[in-house]
Structure 1
Amino acid sequence: MENREEKNNENNNIKVLGWVAFFGGLSQDMIVPILPTFYTQILGLSKEMVGLIEGSVTTVVSIMRIISGIISDKIGKRKSIVFIGYLFSAVGRVLLPLTNGAAMAFGLRLIDGIGKGTKDAPRDALIAKSSKMKSMGFSFGFQRMLDTLGSFLGPLITAGLMILFANYMDSIRYRLIFLIAGLVAFITIILIGLFVVEQKGERVSSSFKLDLSVFKGKFLTFFVVMLVFTLGNSSDAFLILRARSVGVEESTIPIIIAMFNLSYALLSVPSGVLSDRIGRVNVIRLGWIIYAVTYLGFALAKLPWHIWALYLIYGAFL
């Protein structure tokens, strides 16, 4: 009886965390398509400042993934840290409409980035703990599929809201969309708090001493490769600004992002299943080849339709 209850809790976690990812992705990608334009046209920020803000967010996300992963291992808890991470992101987004300059934009985006980085590692660990080894690729693929379906619908909702709020000043229109996206983010908090069940885990130690002994052998090699890849990986905000420079209309950016996320979503489960069959490393290699081709294409793109095609391919990489 107890085993059946544990199995039901595990299956429930996979489903609920999938919907948590859905609403998290929905909220995030209601903001992403219009954020670079908001930075440059409403706040009057330079492209250098945009790069500083979004680059710092990426850095904070990476650092917090390490820190939150270590802490969740040490205390043997996942759910509470995931909850805190999503809460930080929700707060950062719901306050974004109050932004009046670079400093506040920087601060709120960092809060969002801290939340994103905090929830990622323990959430993935919770999914792994709730999955059977033979179906782990499917479990992560299911989670990414719902995440990206949210990211597919987010830009479409934003495009609809841009039309609905067409009579408002641009500044007010953007801020209203940010507010709605922030409120959507709080749905993730409700789902985690009420429906996600903590999985039993062992506390590694009562001490929070950082153990660097894991950085050896194949893991060290993988870490270095990931470091090199991340060094060459730019913020997606620059891809949006690149699309604008090629002549893509502001009103079609959310639709392009939606198409990109649909490509990502539709290929998530098949890619997860493929990794169950041919190995994780082989699928990662394939993804990085697609990434390299895509970024070369963005460098050489000259016409708006090039951007449409490249975003479709970029979704396949992710």
Structure 2
Amino acid sequence: MFKGITGNVLVLGLVSFFTDVSSEMIYPLLPLFLTGQLGAGPAFLGAIEGVAESTASLLKLLSGIVSDRVRRRKRLVLIGYSISSLMRPLIGSAASPLAVLLIRTGDRVGKGIRTSPRDALIADSVEPSLRGKAYGFHRSMDHAGALVGPLVATFLLAYFVTDLRYLFWLAGIPGLVAVLLIVWKVNETGHTPLPKTGLQLVALPPGRLRRYLLILFLFTLGNSSDAFLLLKAGAVGTPSYRLPLLWAFFHLVKMLSSMPFGALSDRIGRRSVIVAGWCVYAVSYLGFGLARSEWQIWLLFAVYGLFFGLTEGAEKAYLADMAESGQRGSAFGWYNFAVGVGALPASLIFGGIWQYEGNVAPFIFGASLAGVAAAALLLLVKAPAAAGKEIS
């Protein structure tokens, strides 16, 4: 079952697990802290997330390019995780909404620095024929942390902690564990750096890799914030006290499906699994648009979770298969940049359609873009004959 899960892949999976435990102990409670204790409004909350995620998207591109030009990817990974682990618990000391903005942005700076070099390090650490499984395992551990974090926070608030600030400080402990794992257990992979030339920020990767990234961006324009799904759940009558349980169930499905479907992409081909995932996304979004009862929402969250299992590992493995070995950091930088930059207009478009056309039309829009992207991937991007091999 764990064939191909090398030492680096295992440790980086654990690093993501502990980092997400730390992050998800804070993130679900941040809106309450901002509005209840610091007096911020919903608009400022949106500004915080917009600034933070935009900063992370740009840095993912820059760090990916830089990681191809330095000998030690691990150093960038360590710096990124260290910054996030240091900044995140400082929210416990914030006295104003502006302070939260600065701290949250600092946290995302760390994420921007670490993500692309880490993804390239995983590709360097595993056989090409097992990349789907490796990335699926990594995403499973990430989702496991996202499941455990809110449960830990709930337990601490119920029995030990009465002030959110103390909880935020305690969230620094799993972040510290993640950093120590990188220092002690992650190994370099013998990466040969490219010449230290200009960063060439305007140059997308050529050929089918460029087409793949553009199609991913197109799909992302229809992939809005999952907060809208929770809004839909409330609109059909799901009680507020069951929303956290629904969210935990969603992460459980993602956790259980990521590694098996990633491994499936190693056997039957990445493109087929990605297309299947985008089709599942289209079906689930159509379902959300038409849903009228709570049991339908629970079923649709299960289907939607399978979309993540099908695509998250396979998309990254497909990218690694197509990228030249010395340019994987840059390729992952562009991948993370395309997904991150597309997320903001996706949510703005979705929210605008919802406001003016009701809560069915935006889901039809998202499903339609997913269908177009799936067709474009089949028609415009050739699949490698085998994992890790190129078609000339």
Normalized against structure 2, the TM-score is what?
0.70
User: 5+ residue gaps in structure 2?
Assistant: 309-392
Q: 1:217 aligns with which of 207, 217, 223?
A: 207
1:161 is paired with a residue whose SS is helix
1:310 Cα offset (Å): 3.7
Give the secondary-structure state (helix, strand or coil) at the position aligned to 2:69. Answer: helix
| One-letter amino acid of the counterpart of residue 156, structure 1 | L
- Pairing 1:197–2:187 present: yes
Q: Does residue 122 of structure 2 align to residue 132 of structure 1?
A: no
Query: Match for residue 49 of structure 1?
Result: 44
The one of 251, 274, 282 equivalent to 1:261 is 251
Cα distance, 1:68 vs structure 2: 0.7
- For residues 70 and 138 of structure 1, the distance between their equivalents in structure 2, rounded to whole angstroms, comes to 25
Deviations 1:138-179 (A, max 9, x none): 11122222222122211221222232257x3xxx2x323222
Q: Does 1:100 align with 2:90?
A: no
Question: Residue 60 of structure 1 contacts residue 110 of structure 1 at CA under 8 Å; is this kept in 2?
Answer: yes
1:182 aligns with 2:172: yes
Offset, 1:217: 2.3
SS in 1 for 2:256: helix
Percent identity of equivalent pairs:
39
Residue equivalent to 1:312: 302
Structure 2 partner of 1:68: 63
The 5-angstrom pairing of residues 136-175 of structure 1 reads 136-165=131-160, 168=162, 172=163, 174-175=164-165
Distance 1:306 1:134 in 2: 38
Cα pair 1:148 1:264 within 8 Å, conserved = yes
Kept in 2, the 8 Å contact 1:74–1:208? The answer is no
Cα distance, 1:82 vs structure 2:
0.5
Q: Which amino acid aligns with 2:53?
A: T
Residue 267 of structure 2 is matched in structure 1 by: 277
Q: What is the alpha-carbon distance in structure 1 between the residues aligned to residue 241 and residue 188 of structure 2?
A: 43
The answer to whether the 8 A contact 2:65-2:199 is kept is: no
Structure 2 counterpart of 1:260, which letter?
Answer: F
Q: RMSD of aligned C-alpha atoms?
A: 2.6
One-letter code of the match for 2:197?
S
Q: Report the Cα offset of residue 286 of structure 1.
A: 2.5
Structure 1 pair 87–250 and aligned structure 2 pair: CA distance change class (3 A): farther
SS in 2 for 1:95: helix
Query: How far apart, in 1, do the equivalents of 2:240 and 2:172 lie?
Result: 22
The answer as to whether partners of 1:155 and 1:255 remain within 8 angstroms in 2 is no
Q: 1:43 is matched by which residue type in structure 2?
A: L
What CA deviation, in whole Å up to 9, does each residue of 1:219-256 have, x standing for no partner? Answer: 22222222233334334455556655665555544333
d(CA) in 2 for partners of 1:301, 1:98: 42
Matched, 1:288 2:283: no
> What TM-score does the superposition give when structure 1 sets the normalisation length?
0.84
- Distance apart, 1:293 and its partner CA: 4.1
Instruction: Report the Cα distance in structure 2 between the residues aligned to 1:295 and 1:37, rounded to whole angstroms.
Output: 29
Q: Equivalent residue of 1:316, what SS?
A: helix
Q: Is the 8 A contact 1:158 1:254 kept in 2?
A: no
Query: Could you tell me how far apart the structure 1 residues matched to 2:220 and 2:227 are?
Result: 15
Match for 2:173: what amino acid?
A: L
Tell me, yes or no, if the aligned pair for 2:280 and 2:307 is still in contact at 8 Å.
yes
Q: Which of 77, 82, 90 is residue 85 of structure 2 equivalent to?
A: 90
- 1:159 touches 1:255 (CA, 8 Å); kept in 2? no
Aligned length: 304
Query: 1:265 deviation in Å?
Result: 0.8
Q: Which amino acid aligns with 1:200?
A: G
Residues 211 and 65 of structure 1, relative CA distance in 2, 3 Å threshold? closer
Contact 2:136 2:258 in 1 (8 A): yes
- Residue by residue over 1:31-62, the C-alpha shift from the partner in whole angstroms, topping out at 9 and shown as x without a partner, is 23323333344434333322222233222222
Q: Structure 2 vs 1, CA of residues 91 and 220 (structure 1 numbering), >3 Å: closer, same or farther? A: same
Match of 1:6 in 2: none
CA distance 1:158–1:297, shift in 2 (3 Å): farther
